[in-house]
Amino acid sequence: MTNITLLEAVTQALAYELAHDENVLVFGEDVGLNGGVFRATDGLQKRFGANRVMDTPLAESMIAGLAIGMAAQGLKPVAEFQFMGFSYPALDNILNHAARLRNRTRGRLQCPAVFRMPFGGGIHAPEHHSESTEALYAHIPGLQVVIPSSPARAYGLLLAAIRSPDPVIFLEPKRIYRLVKQDVPDNGVALPLEKAFVLREGSDLTLISWGASMHETQQAAEVLAEEGISAEIIDIASIKPLDTETILCSLNKTGRCVIVHEAAKSGGVGAEIAAQIGEKALFSLLAPIQRVTGYDSTMPYFKLEHSYIPSVARIVHAAKSTVGFS
Amino acid sequence: MTNITLLEAVTQALAYELAHDENVLVFGEDVGLNGGVFRATDGLQKRFGANRVMDTPLAESMIAGLAIGMAAQGLKPVAEFQFMGFSYPALDNILNHAARLRNRTRGRLQCPAVFRMPFGGGIHAPEHHSESTEALYAHIPGLQVVIPSSPARAYGLLLAAIRSPDPVIFLEPKRIYRLVKQDVPDNGVALPLEKAFVLREGSDLTLISWGASMHETQQAAEVLAEEGISAEIIDIASIKPLDTETILCSLNKTGRCVIVHEAAKSGGVGAEIAAQIGEKALFSLLAPIQRVTGYDSTMPYFKLEHSYIPSVARIVHAAKSTVGFS
Amino acid sequence: MTIATFTIDYHQYLKPDGTLSQPLPKDLDHNALLKLYRLMHLLRVFDGRAINLQRVGKLGTYPGNIGQEAIGAAIGHAMQADDVLVPYYRDCAAQYQRGAPFHKILQYWGGDERGSDFNNAEDFPICVPIAAQSVIASGVAAAIKYRQQKRAVVTTIGEGGTSEGDFYEAMNVAGAWNLPVVFVVNNNQWAISVPRSAQTQTQTIAQKAIATGFSGEQVDGNDIIALHERIRMALDKARNGGGPTLIEAITYRLCDHTTADDANRYRSKEELDMAWQVEPLVRLRAYFTAQTVWDDSKEEALLLECRKEIDKEVDIYLNIKPAPVTDIVDYMYAKWPESLKDQRETLLQFGDSHHD
Amino acid sequence: MTIATFTIDYHQYLKPDGTLSQPLPKDLDHNALLKLYRLMHLLRVFDGRAINLQRVGKLGTYPGNIGQEAIGAAIGHAMQADDVLVPYYRDCAAQYQRGAPFHKILQYWGGDERGSDFNNAEDFPICVPIAAQSVIASGVAAAIKYRQQKRAVVTTIGEGGTSEGDFYEAMNVAGAWNLPVVFVVNNNQWAISVPRSAQTQTQTIAQKAIATGFSGEQVDGNDIIALHERIRMALDKARNGGGPTLIEAITYRLCDHTTADDANRYRSKEELDMAWQVEPLVRLRAYFTAQTVWDDSKEEALLLECRKEIDKEVDIYLNIKPAPVTDIVDYMYAKWPESLKDQRETLLQFGDSHHD
Ligand SMILES: Cc1ncc(C[n+]2csc(CCOP(=O)(O)OP(=O)(O)O)c2C)c(N)n1
Ligand SMILES: Cc1ncc(C[n+]2csc(CCOP(=O)(O)OP(=O)(O)O)c2C)c(N)n1
Ligand SMILES: [Mg+2]
Ligand SMILES: [Mg+2]
């Protein structure tokens, strides 16, 4: 039995791929002996050796460059950025090279690299340890951006990410790293990368979210259920590319929608989802789509972070006003 | 008489501020003797000296860091990135520092810096010289993102950007750098940074765009007018923050909208505009909002770039199907 | 054909046993040294309290300074009031001397932005993203140079941070433009779990300045006298148009990386024990004792005094009123954008209910 | 106390007047040298054609190699087939020798991605964003090291590019991990309009390797013999576990930065004239002439042959069929995403009408 947390599911997936494919390498700052600051790579160096699980010098652009160079050689690098807020020095290499290598060479070279990073707030961390800027990556053609919100999805999606022939930004919602345990058999079975997951069927409205906010979203659905409101819940999981079909399918049924994300509102991924629904299902809409999101301000230091992160109360409020709209 | 191009308007605004405020410094790669690769800073070093208009070593993160450090000292640095595609090494400093200095210190330190960069395609340039990734900057709280689309707006908005107490990303649509001339008196009068501009009043639909695509958008409006369709045209100009009021005002009148931008569709600024209209004017909408944009692919090399950039034909087609929708 | 030769020097005044390896520099008399000794003690007491506050849930993650007190103390003392400090996150002693009271430092690590709004108009707050402070420091120095002021900038970084491109870019422009900035590297041998040897193949960190055309040097980072003297000289040089200097201060992090870290996972007890033998406080005390200006009762009195001062600071910290939720948005821009005013209203409506 | 000393050496075989400053290295006989001479001529003819094609609107912006032919020629010749080249944008001679025919190079600068789909399975295409290629090259070298292969990587960059953090980060990890990579700097004295002196305060670019713990050296970049010998040795060293080397090749850009540039704006005719005196082709020809293996008729025949070869390549280039518009999306992912298939349809519907 493998009753494990999301964090342990990450470790389990890494270990599975390391064991089954010698082209897989894991590296980043402190991922070796220390097992990463969250212990996502705990024990991997000991088990697979320091030539497969290695600490790098402290330089993120270099980490990305290493991954790209290795990937072009047919390896399957899995690079870790310690926190999403420290991935920015690597943006140039990720946007200008990882995302473009296949297209630039008409397929002669490829970039099957995974860039893992913990993201999001709510763990009382210092400044820059709580970013949710997934929209930056999601806008860039050539990238895939994947966000698990349960142990099983973390395992299955990370396997898929490592096996993908194209670069994947794999965002790990650290707030729910250890929130729940789930039985996740270590069977090496990957999940599809382009699919959203309907976590709960409902008829009155659709709640759409991803990552750690799935937690509050699901709690909100419980509250709503108690008040007789039936919410369908979609975990987007792959924010790039988006599984528009699953979203539209639900909207055509419910006609009402609340999108929840922790990132700042303006230009967040919620905007793209809302725009697509407006494009393709406008006249199914019975109420304006609401976005319950972080504010257009920097994620505050932790004393105020819970006033920033979308709360159950805010989601419930938005859901009710959406359902009550006529 | 100052009948000048958009490019010359940039030079004129820089010269005006350099002449009137000794805190203003202009720097970047090749901006000195060479006057910048587009000649936007032509003659400025000669006129104002090499201590006010200076070439930097070739390093973009450093250029951003210099600007931030100078700005914190009360200077008004105007930094140039040679092309938008080369601004990415500076993203870390811009997102993590320029955008946050005021908030981080509760106003003790500020960052009145301007980051200028030519953007967009259509000039037969090599790879990485044609990016339109304004959405990256527009998502970041603390930044302002401004895009002129005429000589007069380039002059007035750049003056406003330099005088702003907060950091401004100033994107210059290089495709229309020299497209038209306009009389732009060198009177030092700035335009407001938070306002969209209604370039043409109309009743049948609203065409929304910014930057170089304003050109095709305006041409499309002409074509539509010939066919009896009256298009209102909005130049967003400030994509961060957005002038929602002007947009909603127009939508409440026309009920139909096509948004045009050169950037990749998914997660482009068009999504945010569409989402806001859907939120605040859903039941004014008589047709789905359409986005005529670049594709979710890397901007192609120049042989194919005109198949990527939204064309007049695409805009007209979308406008007609929007107007014809019922 | 050899066309260029470079050397790196090492500086020390106070040996680990408290004896001098060369005569005291003239500008550090016993009074000044006693002041610095007190400061280092104060910081060590502060660190102990901060780490305890974190353990009992009254502070967030905190990166201790234990073992590295001499560096910040020397920087703070050597700088002039109108110089500018652009620090990394392990510089309490310098920040304190320059107007950031300890309760503000606690407030910062307690998750409150107001901690960086301290009584110094120009110093930068702590920089968490590693090495960005280096390029920003060069920017500050460029402003000073542009205005032809006689001031200088000190910026700090860990030895791990020297692997970042920003560190190199900052030094390169400082060299090219002859900027008044001193780069001080806290080489505490570890970057979290990554040892100095894995960070870079170089024999010294100081030699990284050779890549940018100015002088770098190693200083015994547990020797407050050497640190102060070399930093003072570098600042003088910078203020007088002599350009930048890189100072590698060799020390050791005696505590965990932060309160979220467990150093036992990656380093040996033996190494740690050895490092305790050469740390800065014991050494200076040995010197004082030999000079008969110090004894156990003075030490005890000093410690008591330090504890009292820190108690007071902790007290102030613990009684700071929470910030209004609207602080989340109100400092983002000089003026909150008109178009986002509904966001501020939502924040007012929902913000407070989630205080924890 | 001096604790470390470093030196930088300079290497030259062939003096500007064509005489030897030391005996020929054993692995370069006259046949090899003639081959390299031909190659440099071929490249110069190619450059002239490319610049003309741009002028008549049949090519996009093009960065010439004039004056710098020896560097790429030496690299291409010194590398083994299974080594990997990670080039910057002024490396035609190396790319050509490694499987990229000139018509492909034209295709690339003609605005067609298919130009980078040339006949070499592992070499990287041209890297336009400066210095990113350096870190990527270290990644390629890390893969080679992981697989314990006896191969090496060459990556190139301009002297301006050495100011970028990526260059330093790449060298630092190459040193720390002892990677089989050779960094070759084309020091052509100018980064567009910015002179070498404004780029960095260092006496040499070679000494930048001192910051990353391995050896750097200067080579006469107009001396094909020295270049070849030093690059060959560095590659041997890399393949045999000796780690990285930095080679600064001192040369001069005799053309404009690109066809979009006008170098007259920022550099003097005198400087340019002087540079023409020491350029690589004249020098090698003087040597051949002195050795009586060369004369005017041979030179003429060679030029004719080169022009013919380039004519053929230009011809192929000009007759390449346009790519279908769907190429815009079809190489973005191994499989174009299901959810974006409507975009592909729009492209099909509208794409072709805008060909220009
Ligand atoms: C750009 C960036 N990357 C990663 C981190 C995470 N991180 C925080 S401290 C640290 C180690 C720093 O080591 P060093 O520079 O030696 O300083 P020390 O903490 O030892 O004083 C790391 C990797 C960060 N803060 N910023
Ligand atoms: C990251 C980045 N910044 C800016 C540019 C624009 N740019 C192209 S070439 C060049 C100068 C490069 O000079 P150098 O490195 O000396 O190489 P050279 O062209 O002289 O061979 C600049 C600034 C770029 N391509 N990439
Ligand atoms: Mg350290
Ligand atoms: Mg150059």
- Identify the residue among B55, B60, B70 best suited for mutation to test binding to C, counting C beta carbons within 10 A and taking the highest: B70
- Alpha-carbon distance of A284 to B186, in angstroms, equals 52
Chain D residues inside the 8 Å CB shell of A141:
332
Ligand 1 centre and the CA of C162: distance in Å?
10
* Among A139, A184, A190, CA closest to A162: A190
Distances (CA, A) of C14 to A211, C32, C33, C227: 54, 15, 12, 10
pLDDT in tens, B288-305: 999 999 999 999 999 999
Chains with 3+ CB–CB pairs under 8 A to D are: A, B, C
D167 bridge partner residues: none
CATH of domain D10-323: 3.40.50.970
Alpha helix positions (H), chain C: 30-55, 69-78, 92-97, 102-109, 132-146, 165-176, 196-199, 224-239, 269-277, 280-290, 296-318, 327-330, 341-350
Residue C257 has pLDDT above 50, yes or no: yes
pTM above 0.95, yes or no: yes
Facing D125 at nearest CB: one of A105, A164, A243: A105
Q: What is the mean pLDDT of residues C44-51?
A: 98
Residue A232 has pLDDT above 80, yes or no: yes
Facing C198 at nearest CB: one of D169, D176, D209: D176
Flag if D166 and A65 touch (Cβ within 8 Å).
Answer: yes
Q: Is D211 in the pocket of ligand 2 (CB under 6 A)?
A: no
Ligand 2 pocket: which of D130, D163, D167 to mutate (most atoms within 8 A of CB):
D130
Ligand 1 centre and the CA of C167: distance in Å?
13
Q: Is C186 in the pocket of ligand 1 (CB under 6 A)?
A: yes
| Nearest-neighbour CA in chain A from C131: distance (Å) | 10
| Alpha-carbon torsion, ordered D230, D236, D237, D238, to 10 deg | 110
What are the structure tokens assigned to A12, written together? 């389990």
B92 bridge partner residues: none
Facing D202 at nearest CB: one of C203, C204, C213: C213
Ligand 1 centre and the CA of C121: distance in Å?
27
Residues in chain A: 326
Chain D residues inside the 8 Å CB shell of C210:
6, 202, 207, 210-211
What are the structure tokens assigned to C44, written together? 């060590």
Ligand 1 centre and the CA of B166: distance in Å?
28
Chain B residues inside the 8 Å CB shell of C127:
97
CB pairs under 8 A between B and C: 137
- Give this complex's ipTM: 0.98
User: What is the pLDDT at residue C353?
Assistant: 55
Query: How many CB atoms neighbour CB C294 within 10 A?
Result: 19
pLDDT band at C356 (very low <50, low <70, confident <90, very high): very low
What are the structure tokens assigned to C140, written together? 């500050």
| Nearest-neighbour CA in chain C from B204: distance (Å) | 25
Flag if A58 and C356 touch (Cβ within 8 Å).
Answer: no
| Nearest-neighbour CA in chain B from A283: distance (Å) | 8
**Rounded percentage of chain B residues whose pLDDT exceeds 90:** 99
Flag if B62 and C125 touch (Cβ within 8 Å).
Answer: no
- Report yes or no: D16 and D226 within 8 Å, Cβ to Cβ: no
What residue segments make up the domains of chain C, in order of their start? 10-323, 325-356
- Alpha-carbon distance of B25 to B3, in angstroms, equals 26
Q: Is C160 in the pocket of ligand 1 (CB under 6 A)?
A: yes
Nearest ligand 2 atom to the CA of D199 is 16
First-to-last alpha carbon distance for chain B, in angstroms, is: 50
| Type of residue numbered B83 | F
pLDDT in tens, A76-125: 999 999 999 999 999 999 999 999 999 999 999 999 999 999 999 999 99
pLDDT in tens, C84-105: 999 999 999 999 999 999 999 9
pLDDT in tens, C275-319: 999 999 999 999 999 998 899 999 999 999 999 999 999 999 999
Tell me the pLDDT of chain B averaged across its residues: 97
| Nearest-neighbour CA in chain C from D299: distance (Å) | 34
What are the structure tokens assigned to A38, written together? 């969250």
Chain A residues inside the 8 Å CB shell of C110:
303
What is the radius of gyration, based on Cα positions, of chain C?
A: 21
Q: What is the mean pLDDT of residues C12-25?
A: 95
pLDDT band at A1 (very low <50, low <70, confident <90, very high): low
Facing C203 at nearest CB: one of D4, D206, D209: D4
Query: How many CB atoms neighbour CB A11 within 10 A?
Result: 23
- Alpha-carbon distance of D312 to D49, in angstroms, equals 12
* Among C265, C252, C246, CA closest to C189: C252
Q: Is B88 in the pocket of ligand 2 (CB under 6 A)?
A: no
Query: How many CB atoms neighbour CB C80 within 10 A?
Result: 12
Looking up tokens 């009074």 gives: C31
pLDDT beneath 50, residues of chain D: 354-356
Chain B residues inside the 8 Å CB shell of A89:
61, 89, 92
How would you classify the pairing of strands A114-119 and A168-173? parallel
Q: Closest chain C residue to A30 measured between Cα atoms? A: C193
User: What is the pLDDT at residue D353?
Assistant: 54
Q: Whose CA is nearest to atom 13 of ligand 2?
A: D191
pLDDT band at C352 (very low <50, low <70, confident <90, very high): confident
User: What is the pLDDT at residue C51?
Assistant: 97
Q: Does D194 touch chain C (CB under 8 A)?
A: no
What are the structure tokens assigned to D88, written together? 């910057």
- Report yes or no: B257 and B286 within 8 Å, Cβ to Cβ: no
Flag if B126 and D346 touch (Cβ within 8 Å).
Answer: no
- Alpha-carbon distance of C241 to C182, in angstroms, equals 12
**What phi, psi does A173 have (nearest 5°)?**
-75, 95
Ion ligand 3 — residues with CB under 5 Å? C 158-160, 188, 191
Candidate list B20, B97, B124, B129, residue with the active-site label: B129
pLDDT in tens, B268-288: 999 999 999 999 999 999 999
pLDDT beneath 50, residues of chain B: none
Collapsing DSSP to helix, strand or coil, C138 comes out as helix
Which ligand is nearest to the Cα of residue C90, counting in written order?
A: 1
Distances (CA, A) of C42 to A146, B51, C97, C316: 48, 44, 11, 17
| Type of residue numbered C22 | Q
Ligand 1 centre and the CA of C159: distance in Å?
9
pLDDT in tens, A131-173: 999 999 999 999 999 999 999 999 999 999 999 999 999 999 9
Flag if B58 and D163 touch (Cβ within 8 Å).
Answer: yes
Which ligand is nearest to the Cα of residue A85, counting in written order?
A: 1
User: What is the pLDDT at residue D351?
Assistant: 82
DSSP state of B98: I
DSSP state of C324: P
Chain B residues inside the 8 Å CB shell of C165:
61, 89
* Among A291, A286, A231, A281, CA closest to A259: A291
Flag if D173 and A57 touch (Cβ within 8 Å).
Answer: yes
Query: How many CB atoms neighbour CB D6 within 10 A?
Result: 18
Chains with 3+ CB–CB pairs under 8 A to C are: A, B, D
Ligand 1 centre and the CA of C89: distance in Å?
9
Structural domains of chain B in order of their starting residue, each with its CATH number: 3-183 (3.40.50.970), 197-323 (3.40.50.920)
Chain B residues inside the 8 Å CB shell of A102:
none
Ligand 2 pocket: which of D192, D208, D251, D267 to mutate (most atoms within 8 A of CB):
D192
DSSP track, A77-137:
EEEE-SSGGG-GGGHHHIIIIITTHHHHTTTSS----EEEEEE---S---TTSS---HHHH
User: What is the pLDDT at residue D54?
Assistant: 98
User: What is the pLDDT at residue B1?
Assistant: 56
Catalytic (active-site) positions of A: 129
- Report yes or no: B205 and B257 within 8 Å, Cβ to Cβ: yes
Q: What is the mean pLDDT of residues C159-185?
A: 98
Nearest ligand 2 atom to the CA of D191 is 13
Catalytic (active-site) positions of C: 253, 257, 266
Distances (CA, A) of C352 to A123, A291, B224: 18, 20, 51
User: What is the pLDDT at residue A75?
Assistant: 98
